Amino acid sequence: MTGALAAVAIAVVLAGCGSTSSPSAAPSTIYPQGSPTGTLPAAKAYLNDAQTVLDQVGTTVAAMPAAVQGMNKTPDATWTSAATQLQSIATQLGSEASALAALQPPTALQPVQDAVVKGIQTAQTGVQQLATKIAAKPANLANKVAQVQAKANQFKAQLDGLSQQLKSALGI
């Protein structure tokens, strides 16, 4: 396992600390099959693909507070708009979790990647539930816009933390 971590560390140095490319549709999951712990090219490819997905998650998460920011205190069209935006964000999070889960990290990083994927999926479910509540415009949510906004910020903070966790494990 030490060899895998050394390969990842070398790949991090060679790959640089960030990706300047814009998020793409789907990252490559094709890595050399010779070693599940990763040869240097495999580790570098994984790092690039993981960074792409994490950049996508960051972009999605950054949109979350704005989705609920303009909600009026009583249910109206702003609530419908917020619900629609949150549902779109939840869908994007699901796609990003799937893209990250499809990657094959070095063996030592698999538990970290799995935890991050599970966390993104959990947040996705929470965002979907929040969107459904807002769309229903229940009377008990009226005058609780601040709570809705706080919940969106909570999901953002959780997802930011998950991305940081994987980036730290990758040495990015």
Confidence at residue 50, expressed as pLDDT on a 0 to 100 scale: 92
What residue has token string 């709570």? Answer: 147
Task: Extract long-range pairs of 133-139: CB within 8 Å, 24+ residues apart.
Answer: 134/68, 134/71, 134/79, 134/82, 134/83, 134/86, 135/79, 135/80, 135/83, 135/84, 135/87, 137/75, 137/79, 137/80, 138/75, 139/75
Confidence at residue 16, expressed as pLDDT on a 0 to 100 scale: 33
When computed from its CA atoms, the radius of gyration of the chain, rounded to whole angstroms, is 18
- pLDDT tens by residue, 94-108: 999 999 999 998 888
Q: What is the mean pLDDT of each run of 10 residues along the chain (172 residues)?
A: 33 32 44 52 86 93 90 86 94 96 89 93 93 81 71 84 81 70
Give the three-class secondary structure for 82: helix
What residue has token string 């790949």? Answer: 11
Confidence at residue 119, expressed as pLDDT on a 0 to 100 scale: 92
- pLDDT tens by residue, 144-153: 777 788 788 8
55's CB contacts (< 8 A; 6+ apart) are 19, 22, 23
Angle at the Cα of 153 from the Cα atoms of 66 and 165, rounded to 5 degrees: 115
Cα–Cα distance list, 27 to 47, 115, 146 (Å): 11, 19, 37
- pLDDT tens by residue, 107-133: 888 999 999 999 999 999 999 999 998
Cα–Cα distance list, 113 to 30, 76, 79, 124, 152 (Å): 17, 40, 34, 16, 23
Q: How many CA atoms lie within 13 A of 163 on its CB side?
A: 23
